[in-house]
């Protein structure tokens, strides 16, 4: 392979030049695989024409796209000799393995983009448009580029809040510009059914409409559905023709739309509109379909038939997440199904449903995609797993020979706060800044080449419980989706966050000029003060003893027994794995190894009521010299109040004493329960 000049750590800026010329810089997202620049530029002017040598369908798409782009290029009647943008589809492209790859070459005479497919030409055009964004100047040289992953996606939740046709099209425009190629639409959930199904009209004339001005008011209220046209009805849905319009619009941008129809859970709207599909047959009682009822399969298959007629995607997403399965344990029909099929538990009953739906989809030439819970009870033979509860589900699927798409909440859930919570509109919790998204690498170093080949791609997910408006939705997407696009497209060796940050700032200006509402990256506050450097204190490295029955929760260990004395403070979220979580109160004793003068003992707690994280009701600080008899230094009472904020509070003691052992206790308010999260017990 031809060796190219690379500036270590500077590929973001693409500074490449000959000795006699000033360096050229490119601001392209996602960063291309290779760039060889020579200095100078080809300038697109009013006389520049476009010539496309490609199959007719691709040619029409590309011509229309370029004509409506910022370059507004006219189509030449014959191949121009100069001052032209030439797009050429070729059978082979040296140095490019992917069908979506391209080679862009710019000379003084013009620009030529070569690719093996229309999609490859389209992505070359996106690079051209980004290069020409500054005065229609295209830097001279060659860019050779291809994606790291075949699947590069974003999921939009239109159930919790409905945004409509124009909004979806607008996001498709931006996705294409940054080389994303899968739009996953979460069409159904308890909050509303969002796609017209002609065989079941109650899904849209009733289950698509609810009370309350937004999801939170509805969820905290009576959670009722209302008839379409009612005075207080809030909601909406896509007609089948509108869905076809979305599919066609996406096709013109080389994006595949993947519909999601939830099963067996997150289906309260269905089991209320058609209660015979639940185990109790009573409206407003259950989120899960009755798997023992054959009418359930009749309903799901009929729905999927209409969905498949509209969406030509390889995959149909069936959800599969967060099923309680409780009603199945006592439902006569479910129990009879389990006995007949030889299923040992309700996990296997869910697997029965998923496997049966997969066979139905396979019969119609489609494949099943589901959240990682579809692993429970056994994975359907041809299913692909979308891993959201961390990375374990996706890795397990790959180890068993299945494809996986990674969308772990830690890196890919855009409903989290992207900056200091007190500076941001309300979110579901968490903290996912641009830098964290950018840092994600889906493929572990331990993977074999065969396993790496099963890593189909990555996806950002934007759940909309706390996002009631289109403007807020875009605010949560941009610029984080730009970081995800680079994770999905670019080679790991070419990534550099500091340089990406500069490109992202420029991209934000471009997005705002196009009418998108973005996060203000330029004025980002950053992580919680104190989380960026160790806090020196007397307890670091000392032995910690947890009182019997009060050990930390296994899912939030923060690293284990030394987490509270490692000198590391937590950030804006317990999801950063720096906060230790307790379900049965905190009761720890720290051995300072010898009698030591002490002037301060404190610890920080957080409160995020949505996921059940609360402040302590009471904190007690005690000391001892023998580890048996303790003297109480402080008892702090706190009134826990449920709210919508993300808050932090320090509980502790200051004074003067001498002791070897320090005991720190914190108790729950029994009215709320939930988690207590502590990051460090600081002793000074």
Q: Which residues are catalytic?
A: 189, 266, 322
Contacts of 276 (CB under 8 A, 6+ apart): 293, 295
Please, are residues 29 and 504 in contact by the beta-carbon 8 Å criterion? yes
Structural element, H or E, at residue 340: helix 332-341
Encode 55-79 in three state secondary structure.
CHHHHHHHHHHHHHCCCCCEECCCC
In whole angstroms, give the CA distance from residue 557 to residue 551: 9
- List alpha helices for 380-469, DSSP H: 392-399, 409-412, 434-438, 449-453
Q: Strand, helix or coil at 541? A: coil
Structural element, H or E, at residue 592: strand 586-608
In whole angstroms, give the CA distance from residue 509 to residue 513: 6
The residue among 567, 505, 503 whose CA lies nearest residue 533 is 567
Instruction: Report the DSSP pairing between strands 586-608 and 580-582.
Output: unpaired
Q: Is the dihedral of CA 595, 599, 604, 605 positive or negative?
A: positive
Burial class (CB in 10 A: 0-12, 13-18, 19+), 94: exposed
Task: Name the β-bridge partners of 667.
Answer: 618
Task: Name the β-bridge partners of 544.
Answer: 590
The DSSP symbol for 438 reads H
Contacts of 385 (CB under 8 A, 6+ apart): 369, 370, 371, 372, 374, 375, 379, 393, 394, 396, 397, 402, 403, 404, 405
Contacts of 145 (CB under 8 A, 6+ apart): 32, 33, 34, 96, 101, 102, 103, 104, 123, 124, 127
Burial class (CB in 10 A: 0-12, 13-18, 19+), 57: exposed
**Angle between helical axes of 118-131 and 56-68 (0-180°, round to 10):** 20
Q: Strand, helix or coil at 672? A: coil
For the beta carbon of residue 66, count every other beta carbon within 10 angstroms.
21
Burial class (CB in 10 A: 0-12, 13-18, 19+), 47: exposed
Q: Strand, helix or coil at 109? A: coil
In whole angstroms, give the CA distance from residue 35 to residue 13: 10
Please, are residues 65 and 58 in contact by the beta-carbon 8 Å criterion? no
Please, are residues 640 and 615 in contact by the beta-carbon 8 Å criterion? yes
- List alpha helices for 541-581, DSSP H: none
Contacts of 565 (CB under 8 A, 6+ apart): 539, 540, 541, 542, 544, 590, 680, 681
Task: Name the β-bridge partners of 263.
Answer: 319
In whole angstroms, give the CA distance from residue 573 to residue 416: 9
Instruction: Report the DSSP pairing between strands 188-189 and 182-186.
Output: unpaired
């Amino acid at each position: 392979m031809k060796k190219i000049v690379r500036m270590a750590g500077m590929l973001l800026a693409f500074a490449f030049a000959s000795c006699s010329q000033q360096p050229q810089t490119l601001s392209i997202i996602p960063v291309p695989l290779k760039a060889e620049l020579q200095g100078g530029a080809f300038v697109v002017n009013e006389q520049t024409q476009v010539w496309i040598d490609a199959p007719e369908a691709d040619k029409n798409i590309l011509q229309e796209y370029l004509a409506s782009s910022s370059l507004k290029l006219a189509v030449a009647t014959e191949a121009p000799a100069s001052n032209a943008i030439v797009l050429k589809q070729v059978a082979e492209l040296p140095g490019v393995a992917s069908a979506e790859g391209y080679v862009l070459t710019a000379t003084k005479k013009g620009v030529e983009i070569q690719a093996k497919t229309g999609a490859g030409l389209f992505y070359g055009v996106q690079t051209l448009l980004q290069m020409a964004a500054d005065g229609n100047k295209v830097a001279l040289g060659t860019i050779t580029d291809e994606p790291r992953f075949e699947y590069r996606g974003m999921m939009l939740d239109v159930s919790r809040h409905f945004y409509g046709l124009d909004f979806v099209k607008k996001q498709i425009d931006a996705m294409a510009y940054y080389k994303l190629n899968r739009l996953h639409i979460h069409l159904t959930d308890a909050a509303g059914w969002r796609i017209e199904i002609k065989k079941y009209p109650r899904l849209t004339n009733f289950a698509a409409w609810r009370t309350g001005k937004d999801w939170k008011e509805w969820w905290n209220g009576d959670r009722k559905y209302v008839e379409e046209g009612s005075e207080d009805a809030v909601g909406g849905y896509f007609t089948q023709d509108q869905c076809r319009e979305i599919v066609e619009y996406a096709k013109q941008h080389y994006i595949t739309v993947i519909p999601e129809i939830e099963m067996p859970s997150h289906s309260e709207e269905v089991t209320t509109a058609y209660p015979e599909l639940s185990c109790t047959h009573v409206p407003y009682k259950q989120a899960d379909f009755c798997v023992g009822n054959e009418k359930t399969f009749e309903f799901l298959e009929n729905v999927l038939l209409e969905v498949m007629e509209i969406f030509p995607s390889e995959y149909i997403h069936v959800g599969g997440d967060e099923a309680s399965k409780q009603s199945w344990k006592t439902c006569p029909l479910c129990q009879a199904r389990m006995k007949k099929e030889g299923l040992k538990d309700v996990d296997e009953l869910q697997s029965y449903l998923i496997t049966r739906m997969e066979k139905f989809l396979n019969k119609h030439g489609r494949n099943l995609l589901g959240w990682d819970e579809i692993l429970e009870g056994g994975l359907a033979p041809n299913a692909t797993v979308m891993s959201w509860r961390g990375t374990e589900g996706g890795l397990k699927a790959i180890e068993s020979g299945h494809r996986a798409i990674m969308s772990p909440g830690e890196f890919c859930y855009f409903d989290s706060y992207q900056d200091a919570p007190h500076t941001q509109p309300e979110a579901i919790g968490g903290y996912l800044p641009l830098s964290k998204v950018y840092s994600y690498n889906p493929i572990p170093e331990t993977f074999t080449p065969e396993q790496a080949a099963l890593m189909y791609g990555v996806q950002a997910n934007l759940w909309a419980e706390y996002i009631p408006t289109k403007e807020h939705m875009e605010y949560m997407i941009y610029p984080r989706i730009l970081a995800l696009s680079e994770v999905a497209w670019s080679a790991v060796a070419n990534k550099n966050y500091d340089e990406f940050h500069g490109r992202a700032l420029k991209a934000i200006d471009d997005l705002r000029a196009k009418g998108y509402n973005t996060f203000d990256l330029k004025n980002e506050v950053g992580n919680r003060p104190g989380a960026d450097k160790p806090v020196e204190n007397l307890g670091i490295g000392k032995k910690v003893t947890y009182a019997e029955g009060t050990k930390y929760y296994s899912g939030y260990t923060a690293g284990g027994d030394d987490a509270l004395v490692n000198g590391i403070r937590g950030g804006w979220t317990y999801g950063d794995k720096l906060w230790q979580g307790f379900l049965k109160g905190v009761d720890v004793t720290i051995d300072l190894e010898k009698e030591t003068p002490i002037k301060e003992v404190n610890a920080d707690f957080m409160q995020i009521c949505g996921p059940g994280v609360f402040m302590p009701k009471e904190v007690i600080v005690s000391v001892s010299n023998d580890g048996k008899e303790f003297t109480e230094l402080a008892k702090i009472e706190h009134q826990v109040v449920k709210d919508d904020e993300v808050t932090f509070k320090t509980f502790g003691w200051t004074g003067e004493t001498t002791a070897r052992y320090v005991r720190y206790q914190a108790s729950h308010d029994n009215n709320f329960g939930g988690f207590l999260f502590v990051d460090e017990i600081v002793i000074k």
